[in-house]
Amino acid sequence: MGAVITAEALTKRFRRPVKQAGLSGSLKHLVRPRYTEVTAVDEVDLSIEAGESVAYVGPNGAGKSTTIKLLCGIIVPSAGRVRVCDVEPHRHRSRNARNISVVFGQRTQLWWDIPVIESLRLIGDIYSVPAADYERNLAEMVDVLDLAPLLDVPVRQLSLGQRMRCDLAAALVHSPTVLFLDEPTIGLDVAVKAKLREFVGLMVRERGLTLMLTSHDLGDIEQLCPRLVMLHSGRVLYDGPYAELTRRFAWETKITSTLAAPPGGRPEEAAADILGVTRAELHDLTTLNVWFDMRVTTYGAVISGIVDRFAISDISVEEGDAEDVIRRLYSGDLKFSTEDVS
């Protein structure tokens, strides 16, 4: 059947009222309302295959939740095309609802004042899940998520972590094809996070669930999603393997060597001669920093170049892992540049 989720030039613009502060501002707005447009999702192209797990990341306000809402049919796109399981979500909302499930980390889909089991059963009824399937499915989830002690408790008496576990079970009662998780681990402790990830991973492997996950916790992504889509200001900046992110954005990396003795001559120039080195600096007489382009050379080649030229007592390399790259991208240390310089 090919792609489960496709988006072509998917765009969502919000109209936001411009109000000046104070009462007079409000009055002015009443008389002549003015709006600015915010493009929350900007010509996004996506294609996700059945059974894939995709992380959707980007800084606050990048447009992640908006994309999820578009894919769920909760909001109508301003432009572009979108299909989920061959259904246009906003046109055929009910049909789409049978194929998908969504968990918003900061909302619950369970009824606040009644025992969890009643909410789960209600959801089973809403999707007309046959009784036998319901029981089997529930038994598995209760087992893996350790829900047994929680089932008879009203949701309002649950802790956040307990509630999230129940919410996740609620999302899978009707065995959806696609699962959207919008910041599922927000505010959870390490142990609960681990349990949730394990559960989601299991569901993806066993049931062939297609997963799309937004999170600011890179642990979620690293464990669950081989593929990563990065969004910034509504645009897709990167779409590819998680592991490749480093190569794409952090191709310049650093080796720090401690020299056995202060070098004579011009150590910076000597180091810059090594193939692929982009610059070098000497600090405190014996600390030599060398930056190089990972796309044209390797750690090994650069290190052997340094050892050839200097007497070294210690050497350390900068860990250029994806987590570090994402952190540096968000903080502005690395640029969200889209041109590929290889």
Partner 1 sequence: MTGLRTHPLPKYLSIARVSAQEAIAYRFSTIVGVVTIFIWVLILYFLWQAAYAGTSSMAGYTWDDMRTYVVLAFGINAMVGWRVGYVMMATVRTGNVVIEYVRPLNYCLTQISRACGYCLVEGLVSLVMCLLVGITFVDIELPSSTASAFLFALSLVLGLLTKALFVFLVSLLAFWTVSGLGLMWMQQAVIQVFSGTIVPLSLMPDWLRSITSVLPLRGIVSTPLTFYLGKAEPLDAIGLLGMQVAWVVVLFVLANAAWRRAFDVAEIQGG
State the minimum distance, in angstroms, from the CB of residue 62 to Mg ion: 8
Applying the rule CB under 8 A, the residues between 5 and 64 that interact with partner 1 are 14
Q: How far apart are CA 152 and CA 165, in angstroms?
A: 14
Is residue 185 within the footprint of Mg ion (CB under 5 A)?
no
Cβ(109)–Cβ(103) below 8 Å? yes
267 binds, among partner 1, ligand ATP, Mg ion, none (CB under 5 to 8 A by kind): none
Give whichever of 138 and 224 is closer to partner 1, judged by the CB atom. 138
Percentages helix, strand, coil for the chain (3-state, rounded to 5) are: 40, 30, 30
Give whichever of 65 and 96 is closer to Mg ion, judged by the CB atom. 65
Is residue 138 within the footprint of partner 1 (CB under 8 A)?
yes
Q: How far apart are CA 101 and CA 109, in angstroms?
A: 11
Count Cβ neighbours within 10 Å for each residue of 97-115 and write b for 16 or more, e otherwise.
bbbbbbbbbeebebeeeeb
Q: How far apart are CA 6 and CA 47, in angstroms?
A: 4
Helix 160-172 / helix 190-207 crossing angle, nearest 10 deg: 10
The binder of Mg ion chosen from 53, 65, 99, 137 (CB under 5 A): 65
Tokens of 146: 């350790």
Give whichever of 39 and 109 is closer to ligand ATP, judged by the CB atom. 39
Question: Residue 7, SS3?
Answer: strand
Query: Residue numbers of the site for ligand ATP (CB under 6 A)?
Result: 14, 16, 38, 40, 58, 60-66
28 binds, among ligand ATP, Mg ion, partner 1, none (CB under 5 to 8 A by kind): none
State the minimum distance, in angstroms, from the CB of residue 37 to ligand ATP: 9
Give whichever of 57 and 271 is closer to partner 1, judged by the CB atom. 57
Is residue 153 within the footprint of partner 1 (CB under 8 A)?
no
The binder of partner 1 chosen from 59, 154, 161, 226 (CB under 8 A): 154
Count Cβ neighbours within 10 Å for each residue of 130-143 and write b for 16 or more, e otherwise.
eeeebeebbebbbe
**Residues lying near partner 1 in the complex (CB under 8 A):** 14, 65, 69, 72-76, 93-95, 97-98, 100-102, 104, 106-109, 111, 113-114, 117-119, 121-122, 124-131, 134-135, 138, 142, 151, 154, 182
